[in-house]
Structure 1
Amino acid sequence: MKTKNMILTMVVFVSVLVLLVAAGPSPAGEYKALQGTDSVDTIFDFREGDPAGALVHLSLAHKTFTDKAIQNVSEKPRFVVVFMGGAVKLLSSDRSAFTQEQRKTLAKMDNVISKMVKDGIKLEVCLYAVDFFGVDPESISPEIDVVPNGWISSIGYQTNGYALVPIY
């Protein structure tokens, strides 16, 4: 009988422990800045022109979107990445100006971009920068929306309450 009581006590203890852990602070609670927030709208002004740096920053933007702290905010987060400046060269399917190692990095970046689109992150590229850097607009993936001027797009998002995260 004593063994049964001990087992029952252990089951109750473990159950209470599991409930306490499950009822603990939400991942958003790890960030005081998110307390009281009911939506997360963010625009990434993306100008990083180095393939390795761009891959790291783009992966981090995607990881931020999928982070439980962001996803647990009551409304679905809205993220936009606007590619401007030298970053537009990284989006072209013409990779002849890049080394073999950079091409491998850009292939990984293409994979991250596809995942971002699949997860609902909006991607835009500035046509002004595309023209300025001599990138063929047809060489850019159709997953990325072309806007005439990335600054105007950025101004619009910020005017509508999107937080700006610069990536230079």
Structure 2
Amino acid sequence: MKKYFLSSIVLLLTLFASPVNAQEQHEQENYVVLTKKIPQLEPIFLTAETLAEEDKKNFGKFEVIICGQTVKELTDKDRMQKYINKAKEHNVELVACGFSLNKFGVDRKDISPEFRIVENGILYNLQLQKKGYTSISL
């Protein structure tokens, strides 16, 4: 009777503990950075590269939201192309804040199509945090 009871406990622990452990091991690590300065993209890309190496298969999404007056600089397509290339190289998605674009009079057509535009970058950042993204604002 004792062996049957112990065997049942071991079986139950194995059944219920394994899916949890497997899920934890395969959970994606997602990141979002909100920045107000274009030159900060260089260290952000290096950070994405390092995290991808550390996280390996668990590395998920890495998004950079550009907000504030610096959105004016997004219209300089020649300057931005090097950042776009680096973003692709490091699997980083570039996002522009629509609220900032409106506030500083930037026409969305003047921004490279590689930038995804969200209506409110701060709200979007908070929504990603609610989904479990690790976040930092610079």
Q: 2:83 corresponds to which residue?
A: 112
**How far did 1:159 drift?**
0.5
Equivalent-residue separation in structure 1 for 2:120 and 2:109 (angstroms) = 17
- Which segments of structure 1 move beyond 6 Å, counting only runs of 4 or more? none
Q: Looking at secondary structure, tell me which structure has more strand per residue.
A: 2
Q: How many residues align?
A: 113
Q: Does 1:47 align with 2:36?
A: yes
Q: Unmatched 5+ residue regions in structure 1? A: 1-35, 49-53, 95-105
1:131 aligns with 2:113: no
Q: Distance in 2 between matches of 1:77 and 1:60?
A: 19
TM-score (norm 1): 0.59
Q: CA separation in 1, counterparts of 2:28 and 2:99?
A: 31
- The runs of 5 or more residues in structure 2 that have no matched partner are 1-24
**Matches of residues 128-167 of structure 1 in structure 2 within 5 Å?**
128-167=99-138
Rg larger in structure:
1
Residues 45-84 of structure 1: pairs in structure 2 closer than 5 A = 45-48=34-37, 54-55=38-39, 57-67=40-50, 70-73=52-55, 74-84=57-67
CA contact (8 A) 1:117 1:123 kept: no
Distance in 1 (alpha carbons) for counterparts of 2:70 and 2:132: 24
1:148 CA drift (Å): 1.1
- C-alpha separation between the residues in 1 aligned to 2:52 and 2:86? 17
The Cα offsets for residues 40-81 of structure 1, whole Å up to 9 and x where unpaired, read as 321111112xxxxx32x10111011112x5423141242100
Contact 1:71 1:77 in 2 (8 A): no
Structure 2 CA distance for aligned equivalents of residues 114 and 143 of structure 1: 10
- RMSD of Structure 2 on Structure 1 (CA): 2.3
More helix by share: 2
